[in-house]
Every structure is written in C-alpha cells, then in structure tokens.
Structure 1
Amino acid sequence: MNKKYTIQKTPFVVPTTDGKLIEEHFGNATNGSSKVSIAHMIAPPGWSEPFQTPEFEEYTYIIKGRKQFNIDDEIVVLEAGQSIKIEKNVRIQYSNPFTEPCEYLAVCLPAFSIDLVHREDS
C-alpha cells in the first residue's frame, strides 16, 4: 500500500521529571524515524536543562511566552512569533527563567536522540 500522508493524532508523550511537557509528533520515539523529529513542548516557569552539544540542528518556534537560549555563553531570548536555528555541535542550554510557561515547537535534523544530544552533568 502506498501511503501518501500520515496524520498524527496520538503523539508520544516523553516522560519527564522537570514538569516539561514534550509531545513528539514524529521522530524516533513516535514512528522510529531518525531523519527528523517534530515536538510540541511546554516549559514551565523556572525550567532549565543542562548544557548540551547536540549532533543535530534544532529549530525552535515560540508559540506563547518566552524562552532563553544560552549559546556558547551568549544569552538570546525569543518571544512568541519568533524562531531560531541552532547549528549542530554548538554548546547550548535551554531555559525558561520567566514567570509564564513557554509553549513552542522544536524540529531536530536528524531526529532527537538521547545518544546524539550529549547533555552535560548538571
């Protein structure tokens, strides 16, 4: 059967311990694709991740709120309607030090994988 499209109605909800919602619509966890991952995320106020140096490009589009990016010790803050592309092999820390949640979409090329993200010990 030649399937022309796929509608995702049940994204994989990634288990987290930091209050962040991660719904992967396409990618390694959802459909086994290592080519690209697309995820809808909501980062709660005060959330942050350890620094990482991923082997993938990451595109982020902010839907609501603000998100902080520490890119090789340069602080960049994006607001709703803005987007950014982070090149692969760049040291980055993602956070939401603000008082409102941040809702955003993340696209990774190739797909997000815990083996490719290279998170530092926090």
Structure 2
Amino acid sequence: MKKKYLIQKNPFVVPTTDGKLIEEHFGNATDKNSNISIAHMVAPSGWSEPFQTPEFEEYTYIIKGKKQFIVDGETIILEAGQSIKIEKGVRVQYSNPFENECEYIAICLPAFSIDLVKREE
C-alpha cells in the first residue's frame, strides 16, 4: 500500500557560489514535482541576485532578518513575520543589503526551474 504522505528528511541543497543556502524540500530537484517548490533559504549579508521576470508565482515568508525586494521599480523591505506574494511575469530583484543574514521560506507555483526564472544578464 502506497503511503499517503512523504516526510522530507534530506532536502536537496542547491549548489551556490554566492554564500546563499538553498534547501529545497519539495520541487523539481527533490521529488520531481513541477507543480510546487518549497525551499528554506538563508541569504547572507550583502547578497543579491540579478533582476528576473519569473514564469511562476513566488511566496516568501521571512523567519529572521530582513530582505529587500524591488518589484517593478518599487523597493519593499520585509522583516521577520511578514510575507509577500509576487505574481508571475513581474520583474523583480531579491537582495539582502542589511547587516544580518535573512532566513526565509520560498514557495513557487509552478515549481522553481532555471528555465522559468528568466534572470537578466
């Protein structure tokens, strides 16, 4: 009989070169689920990504620290306990220009894929 649940004990740790920790618990890299990805992340102080226009919705919940979002030219700063939903097809940049690291959960619908993120050079 097939189990009706899956406990994730070994998330996929995405290799990065920018000091950011990405642990995908569910998604393309872990359970081949292309519908949703759920990841625990820790962005170090000074971290940033290039602008992107993803083909997925992204929900972010801040656990600790602060994170900066530039969404269609508007700068938004979230702190622990706050969350945001960014619609697919919206130009966004994520960063942590603050003194302390930022820990957060990111959920993407459909699942994060490098082919769907559309990062700028």
Question: What code does the residue aligned with 1:36 have?
Answer: I
Alpha-carbon distance in structure 1 between the residues aligned to 2:31 and 2:96: 29
Question: What code does the residue aligned with 2:94 have?
Answer: Y
Matches within 5 A, 1:36-75: 36-75=36-75
Matches within 5 A, 1:19-98: 19-98=19-98
Query: Percent identity of the aligned residues?
Result: 79
The secondary structure found in structure 1 opposite 2:30 is helix
Alpha-carbon distance in structure 1 between the residues aligned to 2:2 and 2:85: 33
Alpha-carbon distance in structure 2 between the residues aligned to 1:52 and 1:3: 38
Alpha-carbon distance in structure 2 between the residues aligned to 1:110 and 1:61: 17
String of CA shifts for 1:65-118, please: whole Å, max 9, x gaps. Answer: 000000011000000000000000000000000000000000000000000000
Deviation (angstroms), 1:64 = 0.1
User: TM-score, structure 2 length as denominator?
Assistant: 0.99
Q: Which residue of 1 aligns with 2:116?
A: 116
Alpha-carbon distance in structure 1 between the residues aligned to 2:49 and 2:72: 15
Question: What code does the residue aligned with 1:66 have?
Answer: K
Deviation (angstroms), 1:2 = 2.3
String of CA shifts for 1:37-64, please: whole Å, max 9, x gaps. Answer: 0000000000000000000000000000
Deviation (angstroms), 1:3 = 1.7
Find out whether 1:16 has 2:7 as its counterpart.
no
Question: What code does the residue aligned with 2:35 have?
Answer: K
Alpha-carbon distance in structure 2 between the residues aligned to 1:88 and 1:68: 18
Which sections of structure 2, spanning at least 5 residues, go unmatched?
none
Which sections of structure 1, spanning at least 5 residues, go unmatched?
none
The secondary structure found in structure 1 opposite 2:29 is helix
